[in-house]
Amino acid sequence: MGTLVHKAMQINLHRDPKQLSGISVLQAEIRRRLWATIVEMTTQAALDSAMPATIPESDTEAPSNINDDEIDEFTAVVQPHSKDIYTNTSLQLLLLDSLPIRLRILHILTSLSSEISYLNVIALSSELTEASSSYYKFLKENASSIITSFHRNLLDYLVRRFMIPLHCPFTSKARTNPLLSSSLKASLDAAMAIMSPEPDEGFSRLMATGGGLFREGIWCAMTVISIELLAQVESQRVDGTLHRNSGYIGLLKQIVKDFVSFSAERIRQGETNIKCHMFLSMIIAQVEAKQSGADCELRIAQSANDSLEFCHGLLLALAGTVPLADSNDDGLGPMISLDGESREAGSGFDLDLDWDFLLPDAGV
């Protein structure tokens, strides 16, 4: 993304076309859309890499709220619609509206300061929730337009996933400190929403095959749900109510099981990292062992072994269908990273989210 930003600046995408000479109306709108897209991609990559967003100072205005068929190379004057009317540009404009709050979240997450003010976290959380409510209202008011479930899912995913790392430093503490309970609720609400999008074949396909922000976001959400499942089982085991109030635990357990299946599907689609499938299988084993009173360590070890054998079979089947690279290979196949694991080429900040970052007190 850093290279992309530099390339964009070299062709002056960070300068509004009004500041440049010889730019047609159509080219001006294209340049504004390109810059808005690059800024969004950079923001998402910064969240996954835990690095500051390298967005330079810019005077480029937001794209006009117009449909694609309302402008061409002969257009002399753009007549944008009101922002409350849906056009082909509306979703990009909605993302731009929430960009300032998301950049502020990134700033405090990557700040050199060792302390994060909880009051700041609550304030930022409220602003992000307000931004979400704003685009929910817009989508509802324009439900009769060509907005699809894919549009709603993608918009919600790109904005909502910032909530989890924002509250992460306080989520585990909230179980012993009721004053921080809002962090636990906010994280769980965001995670449950990410893991339960509207049914849409295209979006499901994207989540099953996408790397980078699509892989890291769902792993982050699944981590929060897994922690909650383990915490609830342990809490009810201690107070002797494990077999009385099983509804909530059953719901969480089913979500984790569904994601085990989802992890297997990602491997079938080309994913080579099997840690998610193995860790979640171990979590399910630990929960079921505690529910039945069986030996936890033995069940966890057995589930890890079963997961490894299962994933090994999937990878062997996948390897049998992948052709060997030839001399004309374009370099876009799997790469081997310094830790020996296969990576998708071009993934940039597509870093593994080590579970110990989010699971310090999970008891796995």
Whether 18 and 79 map to the same domain: the answer is: yes
The tokens 């339960």 sit on which residue?
196
Whether 299 and 216 map to the same domain: the answer is: yes
Q: What is the mean pLDDT of residues 196-220?
A: 92
What pLDDT is recorded for position 247?
86
Residue at which a domain ends, from 208, 228, 253: 208
Q: What Å distances lie between residue 252 and 223, 228, 246, CA to CA?
A: 12, 8, 10
- Does 218 reside within a domain? yes
Residue at which a domain ends, from 208, 243, 275: 208
Whether 246 and 180 map to the same domain: the answer is: no
pLDDT tens readout for residues 254-291: 999 999 999 999 999 988 999 999 999 999 999 999 98
353 pLDDT tier (thresholds 50, 70, 90) = very low
* C-alpha 184: how far from chain center: 18
Whether 133 and 204 map to the same domain: the answer is: yes
Q: What is the rounded CA–CA span in Å between residue 29 and residue 24?
A: 9
- Does 297 reside within a domain? yes
- Does 94 reside within a domain? no
Residues 6+ apart with CB under 8 A from 57: 14
**Radius of gyration for the alpha carbons in the chain, expressed in angstroms and rounded:** 23
pLDDT surpasses 60 at 233: yes
Whether 250 and 268 map to the same domain: the answer is: yes
Domain tally for the chain? Answer: 3
Residue at which a domain ends, from 85, 102, 125: 85
* Identity of the amino acid at 149: S
Q: Which domain holds residue 44?
A: 1-85
The tokens 């810059």 sit on which residue?
35
27 pLDDT tier (thresholds 50, 70, 90) = very high
Whether 350 and 220 map to the same domain: the answer is: yes
Identify the three-state secondary structure at position 231. Answer: helix
- Does 356 reside within a domain? yes
Lowest-confidence region among 55-59, 67-71, 76-80, 339-343: 339-343
- Does 95 reside within a domain? no
Q: What is the rounded CA–CA span in Å between residue 168 and residue 184?
A: 9
Whether 30 and 121 map to the same domain: the answer is: no
Average pLDDT, the chain: 86
Whether 214 and 67 map to the same domain: the answer is: no
- Does 98 reside within a domain? no
Strand partners, 56: none
Whether 168 and 295 map to the same domain: the answer is: no
Taking the complete model, does pTM exceed 0.75, yes or no?
yes
Whether 136 and 190 map to the same domain: the answer is: yes
* C-alpha 302: how far from chain center: 31
- Does 103 reside within a domain? no
- Does 182 reside within a domain? yes
Whether 203 and 214 map to the same domain: the answer is: no
Which of 91, 72, 87 has its CA nearest to residue 27? 72
361 pLDDT tier (thresholds 50, 70, 90) = very low
Whether 155 and 183 map to the same domain: the answer is: yes
242 pLDDT tier (thresholds 50, 70, 90) = confident
Q: What is the rounded CA–CA span in Å between residue 247 and residue 184?
A: 19
